[in-house]
Structure 1
Amino acid sequence: MKLPADVPWLNDAGALALCAALEGAGFQALFVGGCVRNAVLGVQASDIDIATDATPDQVQQVCKGAGFKTIPTGVDHGTLTVVIGGKPYEVTTFRNDVETDGRRAVVAFSTDVTEDARRRDFTMNALYARADGTLVDPLGGLPDALARRVVFIDDAAARIREDYLRILRFFRFSAWYADPAHGFDANALAAIADHLDGLAQLSAERVGAEMTKLLGAPDPAPAVAVMERVGVLPQVLTGAQARWLAPLIHAESMLDLSPDPMRRLAVLGGEDVADRLRLSRADARKLAVLRELAGTGEGAAELGYRHGRNVALDVIALRSAVFETPVHVDDAAAAVRGDVARFPVAARDLMPALHGPELGAKLKELEARWIASDFKLTRAQLLG
């Protein structure tokens, strides 16, 4: 099978030049991973990864001769970043795992693409392609990819024990790429249920990054629901519940909202979420604001006025999901109206008659009246 000729990375000048340089020196150069999987699925890919039988030293020599810059981003694991025309390309030597402990692996370089494929996680991720678009499928994973089935390579339990993050990756890839009509692979779920304790070995940073990617999928609700049923969700987010995620996805569609992991984390709930997932300060702050505002009585217009259109729409969607109420178009319009409204009274308008706490209290009173009027009261009416 050949990939369509219009796949963008098959026409990427830098990638083709890199493959030509490696092949010209007598080495293999195969596109691998996400770019190939996404091309098979008809999904756009952002990163271009290349696998080769050349060792890192040999890759460096080839690139030096071709005038390409190399950066040793993961040289101990066989990975170099090659920069061509200002664009980075990851080149990794074929590998096999010598030793694993559930978090990291000791690898040995290989010249066998089948060995390299067997150390990967899912069959759909073990696809390679030559520079002319010809697919290389060492493990026969193409049918799974075409059917959108997320299946572990060989023995699911063995793959999980090599890296327990693969439990979360299974659900992330299911959310992004699986066909819901197929359900979830039974062997994978059984192996996951048997290895829940391994999740405790993972760093908060790795778990947080994986959960954020999962919740950024167009509709992660089925995957998260199964995560809860097999016991994964309680392990990574104590107290979280999946029950309101599907209603939130529906509310998002009604409000034309793009996927947002923090909005979705807010509806899952849970204890110490920011710490458990090691969220950035900005994400932790956004999560806290959304969770707090979802339980307040501020209307859509006031939310838009005080917190901006985006936060207001997020809160409207959250409330719709949790309180099982329909989304009203009027609420979205009110949030936008509040976002552009500007309170017409300033402190100087009340001075010098009022000052200090009295001035602040009067401003709050007038602002509340103005908001209650749907921002219609004028400055003269408020001060009259």
Structure 2
Amino acid sequence: MKIETPAPFLSHLLPEQNPWTNSKALQALLYAVRGAGGDLRIVGGAVRDVAAGRPVQDIDLAGTLPPQELMAALAKADIKAVPTGIDHGTITAVYDHRGYEITTLRRDVETDGRRAKVAFTDDWQVDASRRDLTFNALYLDENGVVYDYFGGLDDLQDKIIRLIGDPVKRIKEDALRILRVFRFFAQLSDAEASVTIDPQSLEACAALAPMIQALSAERLWKEMAALLKAEGCVAACTLMVEQGVMAHFLPDATNGTLLRSLLLVEPDFGLKPCPVRRLASLLEGVADVSRLRLSKQEQRNLDVLCILPKKLVQEQQPNAAKIRQHLYDHGAETVKEAYALVVASGGHFDLKVILPVIEAWQPISFPLRGEDLLKNGMVAGRVVGDVLRETERWWRGQDFAPDHAACLAQAMAFLADLGQKPNEC
């Protein structure tokens, strides 16, 4: 397979910039692979982050050994290897309780817009040509040499998001690359420097946006969650709406104005970036997010954050007791998020009143159980549940102050109001 690209541009990192330096794990992995006649380089995000001066989170590696040979080489070096994605050429090497993904160099055999069928190769340039963005096709060897086949370092420095080669072909190979373009647009954006998307890449994203509908909900949410956590999420979401991309999987996520305001007030509430909260700000009420696979907890939080702010607006300036009612129902973090959404939308609340109540909240449980009533002479039946609900409603009305004994006495009083004695119910 011929790749019509120039030879890689080589850039040298200083030793203190090089993740290989002083890393026993990386040196051990390289020694094991070299011992079997292979080679190994850091690839992708770690190289991009080093070059951009950002903290390195995870280190992924690419190598020339086929997966089975790689597994054998690591086993010979007493390094645990887990076949996490061996059919696609990926194994996870575990060294000192930390995992390192190693993927054999690959070339695409067949693509369908979602997942590619691959074959293995020992050609670094061929492997680079099948990646998505120019600055994600960077490789770093143990000597600090960066191999750049497609001008990724220049694009990174100039803050340009550019798909490798023909943008249309790249997207047709995997439509998730549309979302990745906007995700990196969001992640590289900040208050000091603007980011641009290569015009041809942006045009291809807009033209092929309908292909997003064929992607799995899990993959879509993974990319959107990363995008929404980024500092430049407002600009990215706005551009996605303008280009008609958002309409193909989140047609209701159009309130960029509220999202922008939310980012401004989050520090006042001590809130860290949260994709579910920021998604709620984009939505108008409870919207259809079925194209995203949120966890059950994330979906519950989203539902609350689409409804609770409206209730808070109706309450005007709540007192501490009313705030505690919401805290009991939803928890401190969710209530704080809901108030942040209200303030972001223009609501006026005295944070000096609200925040101390939230910060002081300790989760509590209703002190009475059905077994307590049975022990005191009630007979199992529907009335037990009715009395418990009435008693809990009373307990909440007393600002959660009554203890177990007081709640039990009140339950007996409710039972008497029903005209029943304990042993008659």
**What is the TM-score when the length of structure 1 is the normalising length?**
0.85
Letter in 1 for 2:308: L
Which residue in 2 is equivalent to 1:249? 263
Once residues 213 and 194 of structure 2 are traced to their aligned partners in structure 1, the CA distance between those partners, rounded to angstroms, is 32
Once residues 346 and 202 of structure 1 are traced to their aligned partners in structure 2, the CA distance between those partners, rounded to angstroms, is 48
The offset of 1:342, in angstroms, is: 8.2
The answer to whether residue 199 in structure 2 is matched with residue 186 in structure 1 is yes
Q: Is the 8 A contact 2:265 2:340 kept in 1?
A: yes
Which residue in 1 is equivalent to 2:281? 267
Letter in 2 for 1:200: Q
- Greater mean alpha carbon deviation, residues 188-197 or residues 289-298: 289-298
RMSD across aligned positions (CA): 3.0
CA 1:362/1:79 → structure 2, altered by over 3 Å: closer, same or farther?
closer
Once residues 21 and 145 of structure 1 are traced to their aligned partners in structure 2, the CA distance between those partners, rounded to angstroms, is 32
Once residues 297 and 224 of structure 2 are traced to their aligned partners in structure 1, the CA distance between those partners, rounded to angstroms, is 16
The offset of 1:309, in angstroms, is: 3.0
Q: In terms of Rg, which structure is larger?
A: 2
Once residues 163 and 95 of structure 1 are traced to their aligned partners in structure 2, the CA distance between those partners, rounded to angstroms, is 15
The answer to whether residue 287 in structure 2 is matched with residue 277 in structure 1 is no
Letter in 1 for 2:290: D
- Greater mean alpha carbon deviation, residues 248-257 or residues 192-201: 248-257
CA 1:327/1:240 → structure 2, altered by over 3 Å: closer, same or farther?
farther
Say how many residue pairs are matched: 365
Once residues 137 and 350 of structure 2 are traced to their aligned partners in structure 1, the CA distance between those partners, rounded to angstroms, is 43
- Give the counterpart of 1:220 among 233, 243, 268: 233
The offset of 1:7, in angstroms, is: 4.5
Residues 16-59 of structure 1: CA deviation (Å, up to 9, x unaligned): 11112222433221110111111111222222211112211221
The secondary structure found in structure 2 opposite 1:367 is coil
Q: Is the 8 A contact 2:323 2:354 kept in 1?
A: no
**What is the TM-score when the length of structure 2 is the normalising length?**
0.77
- Give the counterpart of 1:98 among 89, 101, 109: 109
- Give the counterpart of 2:37 among 18, 26, 29: 26
The offset of 1:254, in angstroms, is: 2.8
Once residues 138 and 322 of structure 1 are traced to their aligned partners in structure 2, the CA distance between those partners, rounded to angstroms, is 47
Once residues 160 and 99 of structure 1 are traced to their aligned partners in structure 2, the CA distance between those partners, rounded to angstroms, is 14
- Give the counterpart of 1:83 among 77, 94, 106: 94
Once residues 4 and 201 of structure 1 are traced to their aligned partners in structure 2, the CA distance between those partners, rounded to angstroms, is 44
The secondary structure found in structure 1 opposite 2:102 is strand
The secondary structure found in structure 2 opposite 1:239 is coil
Once residues 120 and 326 of structure 1 are traced to their aligned partners in structure 2, the CA distance between those partners, rounded to angstroms, is 49
Letter in 2 for 1:251: V
Residues 342-363 of structure 1: CA deviation (Å, up to 9, x unaligned): 89x9999xxxxxx948756654
Once residues 355 and 281 of structure 2 are traced to their aligned partners in structure 1, the CA distance between those partners, rounded to angstroms, is 19
Which residue in 2 is equivalent to 1:322? 345
Map 1:32-43 to 2 at 5 A.
Answer: 32-43=43-54
Letter in 1 for 2:296: R
Residues 140-177 of structure 1: CA deviation (Å, up to 9, x unaligned): 21111223322111121111111001111111111112
Which residue in 2 is equivalent to 1:352? none
Which residue in 1 is equivalent to 2:376? none
The offset of 1:332, in angstroms, is: 2.6
Letter in 2 for 1:294: P
The offset of 1:237, in angstroms, is: 1.1
Map 1:40-59 to 2 at 5 A.
Answer: 40-59=51-70
The secondary structure found in structure 2 opposite 1:6 is helix
Q: Is the 8 A contact 1:274 1:284 kept in 2?
A: no
CA 1:300/1:116 → structure 2, altered by over 3 Å: closer, same or farther?
farther
Map 1:1-384 to 2 at 5 A.
Answer: 1-7=11-17, 9-10=19-20, 11-178=22-189, 180-241=193-254, 242-269=256-283, 273-297=288-312, 298=315, 299=318, 301=320, 302-303=322-323, 305-306=327-328, 307-323=330-346, 328-337=351-360, 339=361, 356=387, 362-367=394-399
Letter in 1 for 2:229: G
Identity, % of aligned positions: 36
Letter in 1 for 2:75: K
Letter in 1 for 2:172: R
Once residues 101 and 368 of structure 2 are traced to their aligned partners in structure 1, the CA distance between those partners, rounded to angstroms, is 57
CA 1:113/1:326 → structure 2, altered by over 3 Å: closer, same or farther?
farther
Once residues 347 and 205 of structure 2 are traced to their aligned partners in structure 1, the CA distance between those partners, rounded to angstroms, is 32
Residues 303-327 of structure 1: CA deviation (Å, up to 9, x unaligned): 3543443222211111122346588
- Greater mean alpha carbon deviation, residues 309-318 or residues 29-38: 309-318
Q: Is the 8 A contact 1:266 1:290 kept in 2?
A: yes
Once residues 323 and 142 of structure 2 are traced to their aligned partners in structure 1, the CA distance between those partners, rounded to angstroms, is 53
Once residues 177 and 91 of structure 1 are traced to their aligned partners in structure 2, the CA distance between those partners, rounded to angstroms, is 26
Residues 328-378 of structure 1: CA deviation (Å, up to 9, x unaligned): 4544334324x25989x9999xxxxxx94875665454439x9xxxxxxxx
The offset of 1:196, in angstroms, is: 1.2
Once residues 359 and 111 of structure 1 are traced to their aligned partners in structure 2, the CA distance between those partners, rounded to angstroms, is 72
Letter in 1 for 2:244: G
